[in-house]
């Protein structure tokens, strides 16, 4: 009897499960920063345990945290929201993503999705009964989502446009002119926008992130997510947010109450400290990712691998088409032989079977060692062809 081949999220979990069995594994797969949460945030959590452990929080989150979020999105993204009615706190970016999709899509509705994209969008869309309409992007254009292709994908069932910038896994950033055109398309075709800004603090070189909700006419049709996980290295705290227009946010609030009821009071107090406290750690981490990105790209160049230039984010999406093998098999072989975990592109899109996603969320010495091992694995793969 043949074993069913794991796909999508299940494939990633299968690989992660195997990775845990190796003592010397180097993880370049999961988007979990190697840095621990900054000490002042942990201290705020401890204080909350003593002084606020039994406080009430409404499903949408503590007002103090929503105010801090409103300040943050104004300062960083130039989005104007009312913390009383236009912010909902979530159990991480993942719950935010799920809520946004459920808030906007009904069964049969189409969402236009520039590919490749974070696999959970497809999973959430499937739960909602929505239909994914893919818009291709190409490595030779650094995975730029072309507004003309988006326009061509619109049908009478289109209800939403997904804009993840910087993108996961392709690490492309939608340029300001393209973002303005995307918004024009959304307005002229009456599409809602689901915007994922989770990597907005990690943009490289001269690239610029622009939030669609910051543009005239943008906020009223856009739900924007972000989270503490990547910027503050708080993946285990499960804390994120959605901002958007009050009428749609009322729906998001009810969905949040229905799905999980609320968000841990301790994580929320930690989040207040993160947003209102010193930001040195964020800058330190951003500097580290900048250095590591260069290191990874140099190694890939030395291996002769093609990739889309990571304009933002915390990873690189590299073309392994030269191996002639499916990315799932390549990722499996690199893991089994060299104990290096990279994510197969096929987990993000069925059409990305010749890509690997590699994160730069490990210390530099680990990254160097991981890339050396990967080089050996690639050499072995090519020698076996």
Partner 1 sequence: MASENKSEILAEHAANSALNKPALAPVARHNMDLSADGLRSPLDERIIAASSEALEAGHTHYVDVPGIAPLRAAIAESLNDATGARCEPGNIIVTAGVQESRFLTIQKIGENFESIAVPAVAHPGARKALGVRARNVIPLSVDAERGYLPPIAAISEVVAGGCRLLYLESPSRLSGAAYTADEVAAIGQALRDSGASAIWDQGLAPWVDGDCPSLAADEDRPALFTTIGEAFPGMGLASWHIGYIAAPEDQIPAMQSQKQIMAICTSTAAQYAALEASNLFVEARGLRMSQLSQLKSRLIEVAADRGLDVVTGDAKNIIALRASEAGAASLRDAGFDFAEGASFGAPAVIRLNVNAATADALQALS
Residues that bind partner 1 (CB under 8 A): 9-10, 13, 30, 32, 36-37, 42, 45-46, 49-50, 53-59, 91-92, 94-95, 98, 102-104, 106, 120, 123-124, 127-129, 159, 187, 190-192, 217, 220-221, 233-238, 247-248, 250-251, 254-255, 257-267, 270
Instruction: Return d(Cα 227, Cα 307) in angstroms, integer.
Output: 27
CB of 179 to partner 1, least distance (A): 19
Closer of 49 and 382 to partner 1 (Cβ) = 49
Closer of 59 and 308 to partner 1 (Cβ) = 59
Closer of 10 and 336 to partner 1 (Cβ) = 10
Closer of 187 and 368 to partner 1 (Cβ) = 187
What phi and psi values does residue 80 have, to the nearest 5 degrees?
-100, 115
Pairing of strands 240-243, 87-90: antiparallel
CB of 231 to partner 1, least distance (A): 13
Closer of 143 and 315 to partner 1 (Cβ) = 315
Instruction: Return d(Cα 184, Cα 298) in angstroms, integer.
Output: 38
CB of 368 to partner 1, least distance (A): 22
CB of 261 to partner 1, least distance (A): 3
Instruction: Return d(Cα 68, Cα 15) in angstroms, integer.
Output: 38
CB of 95 to partner 1, least distance (A): 5
Q: Is-contact 87 242, C-beta < 8 A?
A: yes
For the four alpha carbons of 16, 302, 317 and 347, in that order, the dihedral sign comes to negative
CB of 53 to partner 1, least distance (A): 5
The C-alpha torsion from 297 through 301 and 306 to 308, rounded to 10°, is 20
CB of 375 to partner 1, least distance (A): 28
Long-range CB contact pairs, 322-325, < 8 A, 24+: 322/382, 323/354, 323/378, 323/381, 323/382, 323/385, 324/385, 325/381
Give yes or no for a cis peptide into 166 (omega within 30° of 0): yes
CB of 330 to partner 1, least distance (A): 23
Closer of 139 and 164 to partner 1 (Cβ) = 164
Instruction: Return d(Cα 200, Cα 178) in angstroms, integer.
Output: 16
328-358 in b/e form (b: 16+ CB < 10 A) is bebbbbbbeebbbbbbbbbbbbeebbbbbbb
Q: Write out the two tokens for 256.
A: 């949040």
Closer of 103 and 210 to partner 1 (Cβ) = 103
Closer of 222 and 323 to partner 1 (Cβ) = 222
């Amino acid at each position: 009897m043949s074993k069913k081949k794991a796909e999508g999220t299940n494939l990633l979990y299968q690989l992660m499960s195997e990775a845990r069995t190796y003592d010397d594994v180097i993880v370049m797969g999961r988007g979990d920063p190697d840095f621990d949460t900054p000490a002042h945030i942990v201290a705020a959590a401890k204080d909350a345990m003593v002084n606020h452990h039994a406080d009430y929080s409404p499903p949408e989150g503590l007002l103090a945290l929503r105010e801090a979020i409103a300040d943050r999105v104004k300062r960083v993204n130039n989005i104007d929201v009312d913390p009383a009615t236009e912010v909902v706190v979530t159990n991480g970016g993942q719950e935010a993503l799920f809520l946004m999709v459920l808030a906007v899509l009904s069964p049969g509705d189409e969402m236009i999705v520039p590919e490749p994209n974070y696999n959970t969008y497809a999973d959430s869309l499937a739960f909602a009964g929505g239909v994914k309409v893919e818009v291709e992007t190409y490595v030779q254009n650094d995975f730029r989502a072309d507004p003309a292709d988006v326009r061509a994908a619109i049908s009478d069932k289109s209800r939403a446009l997904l804009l993840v910038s910087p993108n996961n896994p392709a690490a492309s950033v939608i340029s300001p002119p393209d973002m303005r055109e995307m918004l024009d398309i959304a307005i002229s075709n009456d599409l809602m926008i689901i915007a994922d800004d989770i990597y907005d603090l990690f943009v490289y070189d001269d690239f610029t992130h622009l939030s669609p909700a910051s543009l005239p006419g943008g906020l009223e049709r856009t739900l924007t997510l972000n989270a503490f996980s990547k910027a503050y290295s708080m993946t285990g705290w499960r804390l994120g947010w959605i901002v958007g227009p009050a009428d749609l946010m009322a729906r998001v609030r009810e969905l949040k109450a229905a799905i999980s009821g609320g968000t841990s009071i301790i994580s929320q107090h930690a989040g207040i400290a993160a947003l209102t406290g010193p930001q040195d750690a964020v800058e330190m981490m951003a500097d580290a990712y900048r250095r590591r990105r260069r290191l990874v790209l140099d190694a890939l160049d030395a291996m002769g691998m093609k990739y889309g230039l990571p304009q933002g984010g915390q990873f690189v999406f590299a073309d392994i088409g030269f191996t002639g093998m499916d990315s799932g098999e390549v990722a499996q072989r690199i893991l089994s032989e060299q104990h290096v975990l990279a994510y197969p592109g096929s987990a993000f899109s069925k059409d990305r079977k010749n890509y690997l996603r590699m994160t730069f969320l490990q210390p530099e010495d680990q990254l160097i060692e991981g890339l050396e091992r990967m080089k050996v694995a690639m050499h072995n793969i090519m020698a076996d062809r």
